[in-house]
Every structure is written in structure tokens, then in C-alpha cells.
Amino acid sequence: MAENRAQEKKKHYITRKESHRIAKENSKSIRYFEKRKHRRVRPEEYVTQMKDENNIVEFEDLHTYFFSDAGTVKAVNGVSFGVPAGSTVGVVGESGCGKSVTSLSLMQLVQAPSGQIVSGSIRFKADMFKLDSHGKKIPVYETQTDENGNTVYKLDSHGKKIIRKNELGGNMYEMETQVVDIAKMPTEAMRTVRGREIAMIFQEPMTSLNPVFTIGNQLDEVGKLHIQGISKKKVKERSIQMLNLVGIADPEGVYKKYPHELSGGMRQRVMIAIALLCNPKLIVADEPTTALDVTIQAQILDLLREIKHKINGSIMLITHDLGVVAEMADYVVVMYAGKVIETGTAEDIFDRPLHPYTIGLQKSKPTVEQESESLYCIPGFVPNPVNMPNYCYFRDRCEKCMKKCSGEYPAMVQVTPTHSVSCYLYEESAQTPPATAETPADKPSAAKKPAASKSTKPKTASAAKKASTAKKPAAGTAEKPAKSVKEETDG
Ligand SMILES: Nc1ncnc2c1ncn2[C@@H]1O[C@H](COP(=O)(O)OP(=O)(O)O)[C@@H](O)[C@H]1O
Ligand code: SF4
Ligand SMILES: [Mg+2]
């Protein structure tokens, strides 16, 4: 026993020489990636095409690493999946499996310099500003018809052309829909996408809100940053309108309050209001209800559903709570140790889970029907993300492990048009051609699946409680109507 412990200790011990080697390698890698990030990137290098036009986001073979003192942490290690427009995709897995790092990669918010997107693509269908030959945005001007019937620009008292205003009260610019690869996009260009096209809601609203500024200040700041040309009055109006939209009873009062004066649920509503300020197409919600108690959780989930419907957008919902996923998601992506191990529609994952890990997760959640006293627990731990083996990462915890499982990491196989799994048990059931861990969304039939059909049966005790109040969204596959050439917000 003592010998075992000594061996285990030795395994985690890094000699001075080893530590020196890691530090040297880290510094070399970080220098390389930082240089790559800060070089001048021409739009041709990051403007690309979607593999499936139904998707709003496509991750393909994404690798995001942290160059730490203990070695390279492969937090996201070859992740591929898509988010169909108008749908909710739930990303589930135990803590530490790379869910947050996947979403932070999408926002270009991975903690640099130690954290870097090493390879892969994150394709996003964005409404981008059209630029002139000098790289400047092209405004849309007010016009009128003169006495000869010609269309001429309207001029202000100083003889300057007047920029047309959009419905948010900001200047209108010419826009075009472009598919951009966020993994290759320069930081400057990303600023026009982050917050405006993709908004993020974090787990703990108190750490995301600034304690020394009022709620109004913080909402207005986002409005002013992203909606260029908006007046002070309009920005305040928009902030209050958003507070109203997220169900805050006294929006004018809350506008003047500080974060500490609000309850947890209200703070999370404020975070959602901030996220909605610029009409984003995609909301990334990273454990949005984990810090809240169960009744508030249900309200926030209802709100997210309602809002998704109102803005006709998509939601990427990250959670470790299967109950939340059962209630909200149209598609589910199961992650384990930085990899996607199973993808499918919500019915696929909840009614016909395939991967032993997904089956274990299902068994380990409490249900109302359950009679046994103790809850099932998947044996063992998530492997150390440094120096991952090349065999199935779940091997040491798997009850169905076979001889083959010690070989190469199992490839993703498509078992039905919507359901894929990375496990040797299903090699034989693979449909041709084998899937490349793409997504359920890559399959047209999946993309057309009506959202309302799933999760009518709540799968957990908490889901059962919530289900009584839950309103289902309408079938959510319609793409957000393409914003016209001229648009609104600014980066
Ligand atoms: N800033 C960081 N530095 C080093 N390792 C990190 C950092 N952030 C996350 N990681 C590692 O990346 C892995 C995935 O983390 P994360 O995406 O936060 O997991 P989760 O699925 O719980 O959201 C974990 O092993 C974590 O330790
Ligand atoms: S590949 Fe083998 S070890 Fe891995 S989950 Fe499947 S059966 Fe278990
Ligand atoms: Mg997380």
C-alpha cells in the first residue's frame, strides 16, 4: 500500500530538469502562438464557408491547450460539432472535461498567453461590416428626392451627409453575411462579433458584474460600445427596455441599483439583459443556473427559452446538469476529457444513450421513480489532462472495456443519421460513410427536427419539478432572418 502511494507520488513528481525542459518548451510554444495571433491577417485567411448551411456555428477538430508548469493541458482535444440555427445545443460532461474552454475558444477569451487555440476551426455565420478600400465601415446615408426627381443625400446644417439610424438608434452601416473562422480571426475583427453577434452568460453573475458601477452604467456601457452613434437618451431607453424584457418588475429602479443590492436570480437576469442588448444571433450560456436555487433555476431556463424564441437565435447551453439539458436542448453533445464522445438529438441521448460514459451519467442522476438509497457513481476519475494516452480515455473507468480498447483512440461512428458515438462497441453498427465527429446538425434530417417534440418527459427530479411551469418553444429550426445589407451595431 505504502509502496503504491510512493509510486503514485512519484508519477506526479517533476524533477528540476524536467521542469526546466517544460518551461523552455512552453516559452517556445507560447512565443510561436502569440506571434501568429498578432501578425497581420488578411480577411481571405479567415473568411470561409460553412460545411452545413443550416448551422450557425461549426467546431471542427478544435484543439485548445494550456501550456502549464506541469506540461501541456489538452483542455480541448479535437472537438467537432455544430449548432444549427434556431436550436439549443446542450454541451454536457463532468467538471474539467473542456466545456468552458470550448465556449471561451468560441469567444476568443481563452486565458492567454498560457492558453492558446492550437489548431482547428470555429466557423461562424456572422453579419459583418462591409469595408471600403481603406478598411473603414461604409455608412448608409439619408436620401431624399429633389425637385428634378433625382435622389440626393440629405445634408445637416453644416452641409454634412446624415447617417441613417437603425431601430436600435445607432448608425447604419452596409453589412454582409460572411462565414468567419474565429480560430484564425484577428482580435480586432473579433471585437465586432463578440458581444454583438455572440453573447455569453457566465455561471456566477456577481463575478461578471462590476460591484462599483450601477446596473444602468454597465448596461449603457455595452450599448455605447456596440451601437455606434447611439445617443445617451436612446442607450438608457434600450437598457431599460432590456431589463423589462428579462422580467425585472421595476426596471427604472434596478437601473440605478448596484449589483450587491440584487438577488442572485435578478443578477443573472441582468446578465441576460446585457447579453441581449445587441440582438445577438447566438447566446452561449455557461452553467447559467448552477449558482442559483432550484426555483430560480426554472425561471431562468424559462426566460432563456422565451428569449431565444423572441430573438429567433440559437443557444449553446453548457452544463453538467442532465436535467437542464433534458428540458432545454434540441441536440446534445457529450464531452469527456477534452473530446466529444457522443452526439445526437435529445431523444437519442436520453432514450438511447450508447457510450458507457453517457449511460453512466444517466444512471448517476437522481430520478423521482428511484427507490434505492444510494446513487450510482461512475467509478474512478477523469484522467489527468497532461500526457493523455492514445487509447480510449474512458478505458480505466469502463465496465465494458475490451482488448481492442487499449489500441488507438476509437473513431467517431455514425450509428443513425442523427446519432454518433466514439466507442468500439458500436463499430459494427456504423452507417456508411463513418462520421467524422461532425454533428447531428450536419445531417439535414436532424436540422429539421422540431424542438417541441423532445423532453416532454422530464428526466430528473428537478426537471420534473420544472416541467410543470416550463413552456416549450416553437420548432426552432428557422434561421434568423438575414439582416439586410444595412445594419446597426458596431464593434
Ligand atoms: N487557465 C487555465 N490554466 C490551466 N489549465 C486550465 C485553465 N483553464 C482550464 N484549464 C484546464 O482545462 C480543462 C478543462 O477545463 P474547463 O473547460 O473549465 O472544464 P469544464 O468542463 O468544467 O468547464 C481542465 O482540466 C482544467 O484544469
Ligand atoms: S472504447 Fe472500450 S473502453 Fe472506451 S468506452 Fe468503448 S468499450 Fe469502453
Ligand atoms: Mg466550466
Which residue from 401, 404, 415, 420 has its CB within 8 A of the most atoms of ligand 2, so it is best to mutate? Answer: 401
Least confident piece of the model among 272-276, 376-380, 439-443, 477-481 = 477-481
Q: Which residue has the cell 467546431?
A: 59
Beta strands 151-153 and 143-145: pairing type? antiparallel
Residue 365 in grid coordinates: 442522476
Compute the distance between CA of residue 86 and CA of residue 478 in angstroms, rounded to an integer. 6
Distance 21 CA to ligand 1 centre (A): 23
* pLDDT for 258: 96
Ranked by mean pLDDT, the top range of 296-310, 363-377, 401-415, 464-478 is 401-415
The rounded mean pLDDT for the chain is 83
CA of 239 to the centre of ligand 1 (A): 33
CA of 333 to the centre of ligand 1 (A): 18
Rounded to whole angstroms, the Cα distance separating 428 from 106 reads 34
Q: Which of 158-162, 259-263, 415-419, 462-466 has the lowest mean pLDDT?
A: 462-466
Name the grid cell of 213: 458601477
- On the question of a cis peptide bond just before residue 211, with omega within 30 degrees of 0, the verdict is no
Cα–Cα distance measured from residue 57 to residue 50, given in angstroms and rounded to the nearest whole number? 8
**Cα distance between residue 452 and residue 347, in whole Å:** 12
* Mean pLDDT within 280-308: 87
Instruction: Give the per-residue pLDDT at 376.
Output: 72
Q: In terms of Cα–Cα distance, which of 252, 286, 260 is closest to 272?
A: 286
Residue type, 77: N
**Could you give the angle at which helices 215-226 and 264-276 cross, rounded to 10 degrees?**
20
Cβ–Cβ under 8 Å, residues 324 and 303: no
Residue pair 100/325 in contact (Cβ under 8 Å)? The answer is no
Give yes or no for residue 99 CB within 6 A of ligand 1: yes
Residue 246 has pLDDT above 50, yes or no: yes
Q: Which residue has the higher pLDDT, 191 or 455?
A: 191
Tell me which range, 139-153, 327-341, 354-368, 380-394, is most confidently predicted by mean pLDDT.
Answer: 327-341
Alpha helices per DSSP H over 227-281: 232-245, 251-255, 264-276
Q: What share of the chain is helix, strand, coil (3-state, %, to 5)?
A: 35, 25, 45
- Rounded to whole angstroms, the Cα distance separating 481 from 50 reads 17
pLDDT of residue 329: 94
Q: Is cis: bond before 288, omega within 30 of 0?
A: no
Q: What is the pLDDT of residue 2?
A: 60
Assigned C-alpha cell, 177: 453575411
- Structure-block grid coordinates of residue 426: 458500436
Query: Ligand 2 centroid vs 463 CA: distance in angstroms?
Result: 29
**pLDDT tens for residues 402-429?**
999 999 999 999 999 999 999 999 988 7
Of ligand 1's listed atoms, the one at least distance from the Cα of 287 is 23
State the cell numbers at 41: 491577417
pLDDT of residue 151: 87
Residue with the bigger pLDDT between 23 and 376: it is 23
Q: What is the distance in A from the centroid of ligand 2 to the CA of 398?
A: 6
Q: Whose CA is nearest to atom 3 of ligand 2?
A: 395
Alpha carbons within 13 angstroms on the beta-carbon side of residue 337 total 20
What's 39's DSSP letter?
Answer: S
First and final C-alpha spacing in the chain: 60
Lowest-confidence pick of 101-115, 385-399, 461-475: 461-475
- CA dist 268 and 425 (Å) reads 42
Give every CB contact of residue 197 below 8 A, 6+ residues apart in sequence.
124, 126, 127, 278, 280, 281, 282
Report the residue among 378, 425, 426, 428 best suited for mutation to probe ligand 2: largest number of ligand atoms under 8 A from its CB. 425
CA-CA distance, 472 to 309, in Å (whole number)? Answer: 10
Number of H helices, E strands in the chain: 16, 16
Nearest residue by C-alpha to atom 7 in ligand 2? 401
| Residue 337 amino acid letter | A
Which residue's alpha carbon is nearest to atom 19 within ligand 1?
Answer: 96
Ligand 1 lined by 263 (C-beta under 6 Å): no
pLDDT of residue 434 exceeding 60, the answer is no
| Sign of the alpha-carbon dihedral angle for 308, 309, 311, 312 | positive
Ligand nearest to the CA of 115: 1
Tell me which of 80 and 133 has the higher pLDDT. 80
More confident residue, 486 or 69: 69
Q: What is the pLDDT of residues 319-377, one digit of tens each?
A: 988 888 988 999 999 999 999 999 999 999 999 999 999 998 888 776 666 666 666 77
Q: Are 92 and 361 in contact (CB under 8 A)?
A: yes
At 141, is the secondary structure helix, strand, or coil? strand
Residue 202 has what pLDDT?
87
341 lines ligand 1 (CB under 6 A): no
Measure 406 CA to ligand 3 centroid, in angstroms. Answer: 29
Backbone angles phi and psi of 350, in degrees to 5: -90, -35
| Closest atom of ligand 1 to CA, residue 76 | 14
Judge contact between 64 and 102, C-beta under 8 A: yes
* Most confident by average pLDDT, 188-197, 270-279, 339-348, 370-379: 339-348
Ligand 2 close to Cβ of residue 184 (< 6 A): no
Provide the pLDDT confidence category of residue 6 given band limits of 50, 70 and 90: low
* pLDDT computed for residue 4 by the predictor: 63
Length of the chain: 491
Expressed in angstroms and rounded, the spacing between residue 323 Cα and the centre of ligand 2 is 25
Among the listed residues 127, 107, 12, 14, the one whose alpha carbon sits nearest the alpha carbon of residue 489: 127
Ligand 2 atom closest to Cα of 355? 5
**Distance (Å) from CA 478 to ligand 3 centroid:** 29
C-alpha cell at 256: 440605478
